[in-house]
Structure 1
């Protein structure tokens, strides 16, 4: 169980999520035969679902915990963008979406047969420079009103101004958590905490042969980026938190893994929520680890409830 004071503080915590906004579409069906045209299964679609994806899924996870959540991002002036706006409203998330008439909303379409993902089809375009400049201006106007900032980078072009955003937030004394992408983390310098997974960290610091080498490389990276902490998510190996004078290993929860998509969104949203509520960092990471362990037992991008976390 989580201390009652943190549970109560969640409902007054204000979180701003910024990043690449996506629409996740799921087509569920049955597979009974192989196509005569090519050696691929024929899926007869029985059900369709839409869910918030990318940075919008981070916001959805935070809102599910009772946090006052706002989302800043870019979508197209299209039907998919309308769907994102509608679902944000239904989830109680304050929308600050910029509508870019020159692009289509990012869509990830997953076709699932017999509870197994058969194919994913991605539709994506990079936002225009003018809309991204407007987004940065809007961020600068909004950031002072929030307790904690989450920057959700999926390398889709929505966070080209991430360095300026971090500098503005830090100047105002805000805690900034970043879910990173790419092979250059220097643009995230000055953030409070970075949450790479194993493959993302390898791209930046190279492979390691033992825990001692990993610790040295991870701490060198954290120090070079002037960060309070670096959290490495390690799937079945749990998580490792690198602090200035301490390294903390949090073992994975023993749970059957059904679907890892969106688990990183749940982890960073939960951790940011707990930090915003005043929870110490190591405790917040422990709760986020628990949330990640719960959400991988669900299909697709999903959320964790307060009840499941014992709040």
Structure 2
């Protein structure tokens, strides 16, 4: 129904990801993705195998795997894998709410007409702000604009 109406559906589930077949995208962290795919995280190509298997298993248009200090990796059918590095410090202050921030940024970007590459960059920027704050935190439009302009200017 949502696909027919071109309404994006984004899944973020700690342990029930396989229940969300046919979603537009899912945003698991690498541990959740590995568990859902039934593949261990060992080895250099593990995340690639995991992302590709989840695409098939969920019949999703894309999978965005968050990878902590390694940034994010985006998997889409018939496209090469794209990754973005973590922005700023690799040492997070508090990761509480980071996954919620990612799924929110992806949903907002897609709802505004952006694609998954833009959604990944926006989610990465938003998450990089929130993990540097203590406790469950939010990201303001001013903070996000400031960070994105610094990145575009080569400071990030």
> TM-score, normalising length from structure 1?
0.43
Distance 1:297 1:233 in 2: 16
Separation (CA, whole Å) in 1 of partners of 2:123 and 2:53:
24
Q: How is 1:157-196 mapped onto 2 (pairs within 5 angstroms)?
A: 168-182=1-15, 184-196=16-28
Deviation at 1:181, TM superposition (A): 2.1
Q: Secondary structure at the match of 2:64?
A: strand
Residue 127 of structure 2 corresponds to residue 295 of structure 1: no
Task: Give the CA deviation at 1:300.
Answer: 1.2
In structure 2, how many angstroms separate the alpha carbons of the residues matched to 1:200 and 1:260? Answer: 15
**Larger Rg over CA atoms:** 1
- Separation in 1, partners of 2:21, 2:44: 24
Are the counterparts in 1 of residues 11 and 17 from structure 2 also a CA contact under 8 Å?
A: no
> Which has a greater percent of helix?
2
Cα RMSD of the aligned pairs, angstroms, is 1.7
Residue 214 of structure 1 deviates from its aligned partner by 2.8
Q: Structure 1: give runs of 5+ residues left out of the alignment.
A: 1-167
Following TM superposition, the consecutive aligned residue runs of length 4 or more in structure 1 with deviations greater than 4 angstroms are: none
After superposition, residues 160-309 of structure 1 pair within 5 angstroms as 168-182=1-15, 184-204=16-36, 205-244=38-77, 245-255=79-89, 256-309=91-144
Task: Return 5+ residue gaps in structure 2 as ranges.
Answer: 147-156
- Aligned residue pairs total 143
- In the alignment, the residues of structure 1 paired with residue 120 and residue 137 of structure 2 have an alpha-carbon distance, to the nearest angstrom, of 19
Deviation at 1:171, TM superposition (A): 4.2
Asked whether the equivalents of residues 102 and 127 of structure 2 are also in contact (C-alpha less than 8 Å), the reply is yes
Bigger proportion of residues as strand: 1
